[in-house]
Amino acid sequence: MPPGTAPRSSAGRGAHASGPAPRRLRDIGAEAVLVAGGGRAILLQLADPAVAEGVARHSDFAADPLRRLRATLAYVYGLVYGTPAQVDAVRRAVDAAHRPVVAAAERGRPAYDARDPGLQLWVAATLYDTAVQVHERVIGPLGAEDLDAIHRDYAVLGTALQMPAGSWPVDRAAFERYWSGRMATLEVGDAARAVAARLLHPRAAPPWLRVGMPLVRLVTAGLLPDSVRRGYGLPWSPARARRFRATMSLIAVVNRMLPRRIRELPMRRLLRTIRTPRHTH
């Protein structure tokens, strides 16, 4: 297995023959450490030229990555843990943000539409695959029934993006086929590299974030598949692979020491930021 590539779960590991109910997205989604995969998910999304073009021309998230991170987390937390009013609010916010992100192809630039079902499926797929990868590296392996249940739950994130309900792969085997096919078609272009460079080397970031960016770059590069990492020109070597594995092991140790209320604190705080309409009677 190439350095820096997280192992995938075997289909039969940890099956719940007659034990407790399988874990669901609600059981793992609030773990703050899953945010460590945020850079991986974003760079995978940008490896689709249409996504990269839309982001490059319609988004300034690379200039303010924390705002984009908070918005993405609020979206996920709102859908999974929010009240019905909060779920409706994040759905409306996503639709409003995506509506203007559309343009026709021109001068070698691909056409894009943020509401395109194929792009919405790809975004949801990167979130799912990244969460599983980070969970298994840092928190621990997931059993086959856990993975089946979590896979089904992630369809909610895609349909909230307005992806048709039937678009999500029907099971994990179908997802693996979809993922393999998409990986073969990814193309890291100039637009993706330009956005990634601003994202991984932010100029207007607070001091604490700039200090932590070398660690973010190492973890992001280590979690990416080899072909995508090479496409972005991210430096990699046996020494970096060893540092990556040591870093993930240390993160796992620290995470196990933290009480659950601390690990889930970002989720609780961000849920409070989701504004819902006030109804008068």
Range of the domain at 131: 25-271
Please indicate, yes or no, if residue 20 is contained in any of the structural domains: no
Please indicate, yes or no, if residue 255 is contained in any of the structural domains: yes
**The pLDDT of residue 13:** 38
The backbone torsions φ and ψ at residue 32, rounded to the nearest 5 degrees and listed phi first, read: -60, -25
Structural contact between residues 80 and 26, judged by C-beta atoms closer than 8 angstroms: yes
Please indicate, yes or no, if residue 9 is contained in any of the structural domains: no
Number of separate domains in the chain = 1
CA R_g for the chain:
19
CA 49 to CA 105: how far, in whole Å?
A: 12
Please indicate, yes or no, if residue 127 is contained in any of the structural domains: yes
Please indicate, yes or no, if residue 230 is contained in any of the structural domains: yes
Residues 6+ apart with CB under 8 A from 94: 75, 160, 161, 162
Mutual orientation of helices 207-223 and 238-257 as an angle, nearest 10°? 110
Please indicate, yes or no, if residue 212 is contained in any of the structural domains: yes
Q: What is the pLDDT along the chain (281 residues), one digit of tens a residue?
A: 333 443 344 333 344 445 678 889 999 999 999 999 999 999 999 999 888 887 777 666 666 667 777 888 888 899 899 999 998 888 888 777 767 666 665 666 666 676 788 888 999 999 999 999 999 999 999 999 999 999 999 988 888 777 887 899 999 999 999 999 999 999 999 989 998 998 898 877 778 888 899 999 999 999 999 999 999 999 999 999 999 999 999 999 999 999 999 999 999 999 998 887 664 33
Please indicate, yes or no, if residue 123 is contained in any of the structural domains: yes
